[in-house]
């Protein structure tokens, strides 16, 4: 799904940001957490974001996290995003991006 911006729509911080209108038109199954419609998985950038923010999603059960992890793994495979984690509990235990700032804090 390609995102489009309508005139008058507020700008977002990232080039792949989804507008409210874009989100309204996405199927529930496009989200890692479909019931809550949290963490869209419509492209590689959003999949990486869902991985990085997985442990920040609130008010979801362990069963919902397990389901979301499977959705993320499937989307990662579809969009060619490398995932080393094999269980959802591994997400959030360490930085998931090659951010040079993480090395400076050590």
At residue 28 the predicted structure's pLDDT band, cuts being 50, 70 and 90, is confident
The number of folded domains in the chain is 1
Distance CA 20, CA 95 (A): 28
- With respect to residue 56, please indicate whether it lies within any of the assigned structural domains: yes
| Higher pLDDT, residue 94 or 28 | 28
The verdict on residue 99 lying in a domain is: no
Q: Do the domain assignments include residue 52? A: yes
106, part of any domain: no
Instruction: Give residue 79's domain range.
Output: 20-91
pLDDT digits (tens, 9 = 90+) for 42-96: 999 999 999 999 999 999 999 999 999 999 999 999 999 999 999 999 986 554 4
Question: Can you tell me whether residue 85 is helix, strand or coil?
Answer: coil
Is 13 part of any domain?
no
**DSSP characters for 2-67?**
-----TTPPP-SSTTPPPHHHHHTS-GGGEEETTTTEEE-SSHHHHHHHHHHGGG--S--HHHHHH
pLDDT (0 to 100) of residue 25: 67
- Could you tell me which of 67, 62, 5 has the C-alpha nearest to residue 41? 67
- Stretch 37-41: mean pLDDT: 92
64 in Cβ contact with 87 (< 8 Å): no
When pLDDT is averaged across residues 12-38 and rounded to a whole number, the result is: 75
Examine residue 11 and state whether it is found in any structural domain, yes or no.
no
55 in a structural domain? yes
- Is 61 contained in some domain? yes
Tell me the whole-structure pTM to 2 decimals: 0.68
């Amino acid at each position: 799904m390609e995102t489009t911006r309508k005139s008058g729509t507020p700008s977002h911080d990232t080039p792949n940001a989804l507008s409210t209108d874009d989100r309204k038109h996405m199927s529930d199954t496009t989200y890692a957490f479909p019931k809550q419609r949290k963490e869209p998985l419509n492209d590689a950038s959003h999949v990486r974001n869902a991985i990085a923010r997985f442990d920040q999603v609130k008010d979801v059960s362990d069963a919902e996290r397990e389901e979301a992890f499977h959705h993320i793994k499937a989307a990662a495979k579809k969009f060619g995003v490398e995932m080393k984690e094999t269980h959802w509990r591994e997400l959030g235990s360490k930085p998931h991006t090659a951010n040079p700032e993480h090395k400076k804090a050590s």
